[in-house]
Structure 1
Amino acid sequence: MKKIIKILLGIVVALIVVFGGYLIYLFVSYDRLPDAITLNPVNRQTQTLETNKTYRAMSHNIGYGAYPPSYSFFMDGGDYSRAYDKKTVKENMQGIVQTTKELAPTFAFYQEVDQDGDRSQHVDQVAFLGEHLEDYNHLYGQNYDSDYLFYPFTDPIGKAKSGLVTLSQAEITSSKRYSLPIETNFNKFFDLDRAFTVSRMPVKGGHEFIAINTHLSAFTKDRSIQAAQLEKIFNVMENEYKKGNYVLVAGDYNHDVLGNSPEVFNTSKKRETWTHPFPKDQLPAGFQLPTGNLAAEKIPSARALDKPYKEGKSYTTLIDGFLVSDNIAVNNVHVKDMQFKYSDHNPVYLDFSFK
């Protein structure tokens, strides 16, 4: 009996040492990218933008190519942490590229694009988009390079290097990546780093088009963090607008764009941390969040990942979209109904012109 007790105690001690060592590894190796990093766009075209000409912007969170309709994610209460296999990721990426070609946007903004990751079966999606959409100028801004997360224990999500990709048919003269406020407690290992990129493109007449791409926090329960993230973006928007520039922000806001999505999509009125109403009343003067006929069209931009997608039964909402300055004329805004075929998000697109 004493021998058995010693063995059990040895196992417990070993587990404590391993777990403690892993926690030390997480905290010691954790590092955030500095703020205001200059990025290097890859320009393949030199088109200059013009006023009174219609352009199209598309925003799509591609979910690092891991989410076909049958997929559910452990952080939402589902079953999986990684994409099924490399074949699935490549098929989803091919579908995302084809969808982009069908919509033919002048500007495409993608979120959750993995450069490398265990969760995405090590498919370089940044390179994939650049190679398969070769007619666009290309910009990548890294969100995070996370250390190995040994959770869930049966199938750890592992490491991931991921970020934001912006494509443009107009020349990108410069771009920067800005860090967003995040939680500083243990939650930072699950919600990971957050950022936004700011790209500058000349418009005939002397001003610039300021194209911002972002993906705000989803799983934080501290709403002050989400508010601080929006405040930082709002400050950049306001400063550029005061210079006379045209400003557009595209992204996954992890906020209910309509404000009443539970009623629109006939889903539970319970709000997840990523579905609080977008604070439109806090937008800087001169800005709007255009929603057009989105409520009437009733096409969601995102689904919950607690279970496989079933139309009319799954929790759906609208958390993706655009913020635009009032010197931009909005013609229409729509969600393309992909039935979440290649991602847990449907792409949103906006037709507009510079006044």
Structure 2
Amino acid sequence: MKILKKIVIVLFSLVVLVGILLGYLTIVEYRPKQQSTTSVKNNQTEVLKLNETYKSLTFNIGYASLGKDEDFVMDGGSKGRTDSKSVMQGYLEGIQNILLGSNSDFYLLQEVDQKSRRSYNENQVLSNAEALGDSYAYTFAYNFKAQFVPFPVSFTDYIGYVESGLQTFSKFKMDEAVRHQFPGEFSWPLRIANLKRAMVVHEYSIEGSDKKFILVNLHMSAYDGDGTLREQEMAYLKAFLNEQKTLGNYVMVGGDFNQTFPEAIGIYPPTQDIWVAYDMETDFLPEGYSFELDLTHPSCRLLNQPYDPLDSNTQYYIIDGFIVSDNISVTDVVNLNHGFLYSDHNPIEITFKLN
């Protein structure tokens, strides 16, 4: 009886501790507004012009922790972070070299950690800004902010505290940057340790035009089970695109959509059902818009294991790219295929003109 009593006491204590933890995490949960202005750091003075050639790059950098030697617990792997800070820093240096080599006018980056246990508290936002230098304005907005993420179940490898989000760079003056919270959320208690998906809308003046250039950086839902979050997010994005079309603005949306684009359906059939990217609705795009993609290489890989292009268990996706309004002429879209050395995504580069 004494042993049974001790077991009951231990179990009751654990329940109380878990209850206290969930209560605390609920109280301090990140609850963003529907729309909030995002500060522009190091804003530039040069203004965009019509009929000039510009270049933009979108890149999910995977918090510089999902390179070629990594797997991830949510993709069928086991890890929550890299084996050491030096490994993460090596990936980050490689990512920044890709950015510098592109010399784009705009960079749309996703999964950039500002302060997170999973990336050894490296301020990647500041590091990226220092790497690109004073010729770029930049913004940062949260896409994931949580006091404690308990996965994977490990005393050393758990994700823990997370501050991560969307970082955008520009060689041109930003008039305004606004974070838009996507609708929908996970049920409690999953919600308190999960992402708060968003898109950041950057507005630019154009010399000689009363219209604006609207540049959107987004990262949409991935692990939402039946896809209801994606449906709400896509409906929100579609309404936004329609509104901008009515205003006559020049619109470019880039990022990680976490869905297979209509033109890419069937290129990389699922080899397993660990994580299957939903097919985007073929009639999603409003009139006056087009997808701009490079279908010659995958834009993402599954993190079920370290990268091995010869292994049949290696799963690919095309889920990164751009949506562009028809008053923008696109001259080239290129997947900068780096073999997933530094991230589980490849960067996508687009060259364009404002007509």
Same fold (TM over 0.5): yes
State the Cα deviation string for residues 13-60 of structure 1 (Å, max 9, x = none): 222222222222232322311121111212343221122221111000
- Name the stretch that deviates more: 3-12 or 226-235: 3-12
Correspondence list, 1:1-355, <5 A: 2-134=1-133, 135-154=135-154, 155-186=157-188, 187-206=190-209, 207-261=211-265, 263-265=266-268, 267-268=270-271, 270=273, 272-273=275-276, 275-291=277-293, 294-295=294-295, 297=296, 299-313=297-311, 314-355=314-355
- Name the stretch that deviates more: 314-323 or 14-23: 14-23
Q: Distance in 1 between matches of 2:116 and 2:299?
A: 25
Q: Which amino acid aligns with 1:304?
A: L
Structure 1 contact 280–289 (Cα < 8 Å) conserved: no
- SS of residue matched to 2:321: strand
TM-score (norm. length: structure 1): 0.93
Structure 1 contact 288–323 (Cα < 8 Å) conserved: yes
- SS of residue matched to 1:19: helix
Q: Distance in 2 between matches of 1:266 and 1:280?
A: 17
Identity rate, percent? 30
- SS of residue matched to 1:339: coil
Structure 2 contact 264–318 (Cα < 8 Å) conserved: no
- Name the stretch that deviates more: 173-182 or 186-195: 186-195
- Name the stretch that deviates more: 211-220 or 10-19: 10-19
State the Cα deviation string for residues 291-322 of structure 1 (Å, max 9, x = none): 3xx33x2x111111111111143111110000
Structure 1 contact 258–318 (Cα < 8 Å) conserved: no
Q: Distance in 2 between matches of 1:251 and 1:347?
A: 10
Shift of 1:271: 8.2
Q: Which amino acid aligns with 1:165?
A: Q
Structure 1: tracts of 5 or more residues without a match: none
Structure 1 contact 198–210 (Cα < 8 Å) conserved: yes
Q: Distance in 1 between matches of 2:26 and 2:118?
A: 21
Q: 1:24 to 1:44 in 2, by over 3 A?
A: closer
Moved over 4 A (4+): 258-261
Q: Which amino acid aligns with 2:165?
A: G
Structure 1 contact 63–345 (Cα < 8 Å) conserved: yes
- SS of residue matched to 1:211: strand
Q: Distance in 2 between matches of 1:335 and 1:312?
A: 20
- SS of residue matched to 1:175: strand
- SS of residue matched to 2:178: strand
Structure 2 contact 60–343 (Cα < 8 Å) conserved: yes
Structure 2 contact 262–282 (Cα < 8 Å) conserved: no
State the Cα deviation string for residues 103-148 of structure 1 (Å, max 9, x = none): 1111100001111001111000111111111121111112232121
Structure 1 contact 201–208 (Cα < 8 Å) conserved: yes
Q: Distance in 2 between matches of 1:269 and 1:118?
A: 30
Shift of 1:248: 0.3
Q: Distance in 1 between matches of 2:244 and 2:182?
A: 18
Q: Distance in 2 between matches of 1:170 and 1:241?
A: 23
Structure 1 contact 191–219 (Cα < 8 Å) conserved: no
- Name the stretch that deviates more: 24-33 or 157-166: 24-33
Q: Which amino acid aligns with 1:246?
A: Y
- SS of residue matched to 1:322: strand
Q: Which amino acid aligns with 2:74?
A: M
Q: Distance in 2 between matches of 1:20 and 1:253?
A: 35
State the Cα deviation string for residues 176-202 of structure 1 (Å, max 9, x = none): 111012324034245411111111111
Q: Which amino acid aligns with 2:123?
A: D
Q: CA RMSD in A?
A: 1.8
State the Cα deviation string for residues 242-290 of structure 1 (Å, max 9, x = none): 22210000110000125545x42365275835x1122241212111112
